[in-house]
Amino acid sequence: MHIRFIALLMLAVLTNAARADQFVLFDTTFTFTQEDALNSKPSQSHYYLKDDRLNPLRPKDWTAPVDYRNGTVHLRLEVLEKPGDQPTSWSVCYIPYKGQNHGYGCIGTGPYSKTGVIEKDLSMTTFWQNNDIIWSEGIKEMHLVLKDDKNLHAHKRPDPEKFFPTKVRMTLIQVSKGAK
């Protein structure tokens, strides 16, 4: 019986050590047209995921008791429809309840030219303006910004037919520090 208890205890420890603290911040599928880009407010070429479209169980504090701020984000972009082969990208911006300096920070999908799936694991401490977010106050919304491979908003291009309409499914999974 003593050996059985030790075996169960070891199994519990290993199970907890292997368990990653993670959550899906959002998983959304949408078609984005030129009209959507031109009429999005307050900024053009933005697709807005407001509070009600994000996981309602996301933590208020991303630093404790579980440290997501120093973890990674797993980005999955499934490009379902795309006109032509013009290199295209998305900036994916975290909009906090409380920010400093510029008040937000963004990761990027990197350029893609065709339909298919792109997956990336990105450090939460190295992306653009990540220090402009007060992570202990939480994230209130996300802004997805359609761009070309030179970082120009798609609606400003002289050839919008190369970008619109597009249909994508984008998922962000937040993974805690030290977890995979």
Q: Which residues lie below 8 Å from residue 58, measured CB to CB, with a gap of 6+?
A: 23, 25, 138, 139, 174
Question: Which H or E run includes 172?
Answer: strand 166-175
pLDDT of residue 104: 97
Beta bridge partners of 28: 170
| Per-residue tokens: 8 | 């169960």
Q: Percent of the chain beyond pLDDT 90?
A: 88
- For the chain, give the mean pLDDT: 91
pLDDT of 129-153, one tens digit each? 999 999 999 999 999 999 999 999 9
